[in-house]
Amino acid sequence: MPLSRKLAVLLPALVTGGLLVAATSAAANVAVTQVSSDPFTDAQAQHRTEVEPDTFAFGSTIVSAFQVGRVFGGGSSDIGFATSTDGGATWTSGFLPGTTANTGGPCGQMSDAAVAFDAKHNVWLISSLGVNCPSGTPVFTSRSTDGGKTFGNPVTTATGSLDKNWIVCDNTASSPFFGNCYTQYDITSSGDSIRMRTSGDGGLTWGPARAPGGAHTGLGGQPVVQPNGTVVVPYLSLNDQIRSFRSTNGGGSWSSTTAVASISHHDAAGGLREEALPSAEIDSSGTVYVVWSDCRFRSGCPSNDIVLSKSANGTTWTAPARVPIDATTSTVDHFVPGIGVDPSTAGAGARIGLTYYFYPTANCTAATCQLEAGFISSTNGGTSWGTATQVAGPMSLSWIPNTSQGRMFGDYISTSVRAGGNAFPIVPIASAPSGSTFAMGMFAPAGGLPLTGGARRAAETPAPQVAAARSAVTAF
């Protein structure tokens, strides 16, 4: 049996059979369960590491995907996935076949996993980026027709010098474009020019690359689909703005971009790899929620808050509001947020879960920085928030893999909220290494995190900040 088939069959069974372990982080308030670990041994990677998760929930199924075995120069040994079909009670895991030499594929490394579900075609999709492949850095789509339990060899979605792909599907049965799936990526050889492709057959084939109108250089776009079929794509532009564009005709064409907000951002201390990439979600009425890390509310920009902007149409956005995790006078630095919205709620009743990483003390060094993960929720569309809870940490930066752009737990993370239920972020958590072997895997909060909301509001006026211009970026 080829190695790729062995991994696809045996490793999920092994995890189901007893490799899952319940654990509580040293100072955290949440019990977590490990849902995946790095099994590979190829010499290129820093092993027993898993980074950069995305998640998606539909019904009782939750699927996460992430990098496994991080490589210093870019990408990883493979893309892993973890799936729960019982609402987060139990998990199985596996690794995508046909990607790198580890699983019978052509690429040197893999990166940038994102998850979607196509309800019309009943298929789970994992979008990923190949690194050092015969065709450059292509975008792939791996498909599962058995509820996310196994995935087939990848379909090539786009070729070239590409980066920071993301995927979403139109799951509203009344939408005129029900069953369309949309993949976003940028072309690094063209100054991070953004492109979109559309599939109408469950990710088997993909249409031509189409660009937004006007200037559209940036990365980290996260498309979401409104109930009427309009696709809205917030992204990080190269001129330090969160911008967005949209399609109202099923991806046949894309509008010019519009500004969501300018960014003021504090770079995390200690050589940690992070920047102000947006995280986007949508509620049942079509309101789009976008969060990113921003220092506009802190005089002198000593650290970041997480800020939130909303839009009903993808063209007009609210002014960024601070998520009141703590006071603006605190020493805490917050970054890399992942937002989730209960898809059965909307407007003033929208239930939001927000996971993020943070330093308790922003002014730290590579030797002293303590990395932690937190969670906060709102039950009224972000008007007010509950009390934050610590999900993981503290972790020393030496416990997480190094890259050419700094120590890395992920350029993004994700939170998915089940309809009427709890939030499920899948987060990378590290323990102290054993010699040169890391101990960093993917974990889920046991039973999920309740969305309790609360009365905490933020009313500060932004302090004036100066943002530096952003150059073209490659972020494998």
DSSP result, 55-116: EEEETTEEEEEEEEEEETTS-EEEEEEEEESSTTSS-EEEE-SSSBGGGT-SBSEEEEEEEE
pLDDT band at 470 (very low <50, low <70, confident <90, very high): low
**Is the pLDDT confidence value at 300 over 70?**
yes
Instruction: Write out the DSSP string of 136-149.
Output: EE-EEEEEESSSSS
pLDDT band at 153 (very low <50, low <70, confident <90, very high): very high
**Is the pLDDT confidence value at 21 over 80?**
no
CA angle centred on 346, ends 344 and 348, rounded to 5°: 140
**Is the pLDDT confidence value at 94 over 50?**
yes
**Contact criterion met (CB below 8 Å) for 278 and 290:** yes
C-alpha pair distances (Å), 117 with each of 146, 351, 390: 12, 21, 30
pLDDT band at 464 (very low <50, low <70, confident <90, very high): low
Q: Which residue has the tokens 């792939």?
A: 140
Q: What is the mean pLDDT of residues 60-71?
A: 98
Q: Which residues pair with 64 in a beta bridge?
A: 55, 82
CA distance 204 to 109: 23
**What is the chain's mean pLDDT, rounded?**
93
**CB count in 10 Å sphere of residue 449:** 24
> How buried is 345 (Cβ within 10 angstroms: 0-12 exposed, 13-18 middle, 19+ buried)?
buried
pLDDT band at 475 (very low <50, low <70, confident <90, very high): confident
Tokens linked to 366? 């590579």
Q: Which residues pair with 392 in a beta bridge?
A: 373
Q: What is the mean pLDDT of residues 18-39?
A: 70
**Is the pLDDT confidence value at 81 over 80?**
yes
Name the residue with higher pLDDT: 95 or 21: 95
Q: What is the dihedral of CA 176, 182, 184, 189, to 10 degrees?
A: -110
pLDDT band at 16 (very low <50, low <70, confident <90, very high): very low
**Is the pLDDT confidence value at 472 over 70?**
no
- The reported pLDDT for the residue numbered 189 is 96
Q: What is the mean pLDDT of residues 175-187?
A: 98
- The reported pLDDT for the residue numbered 277 is 98
- 380-439 per-position pLDDT tens digit: 999 999 999 999 999 999 999 999 999 999 999 999 999 999 999 999 999 999 988 999
- The reported pLDDT for the residue numbered 23 is 39
- The reported pLDDT for the residue numbered 463 is 74
- The reported pLDDT for the residue numbered 471 is 57
What pTM was estimated for this model as a whole?
Answer: 0.94
CA 100 to chain centre: 22
**Is the pLDDT confidence value at 465 over 70?**
no
C-alpha pair distances (Å), 437 with each of 175, 317, 400, 410, 432: 49, 46, 10, 19, 9
Q: What stretch of H or E contains 165?
A: strand 160-169
What is the percent of the chain where pLDDT is above 70? 92
Q: What are the b/e assignments for 54-80, b being 16+ CB within 10 Å?
A: bbbbbeebbbbbbbbbbbeebbbbbbb
pLDDT band at 379 (very low <50, low <70, confident <90, very high): very high
pLDDT band at 24 (very low <50, low <70, confident <90, very high): very low
* Identity at 236, one-letter amino acid code: L
Q: What is the mean pLDDT of residues 163-175?
A: 98
- 203-242 per-position pLDDT tens digit: 999 999 999 999 999 999 999 999 999 999 999 999 999 9
C-alpha pair distances (Å), 372 with each of 13, 202, 258, 366, 392: 31, 37, 34, 14, 5
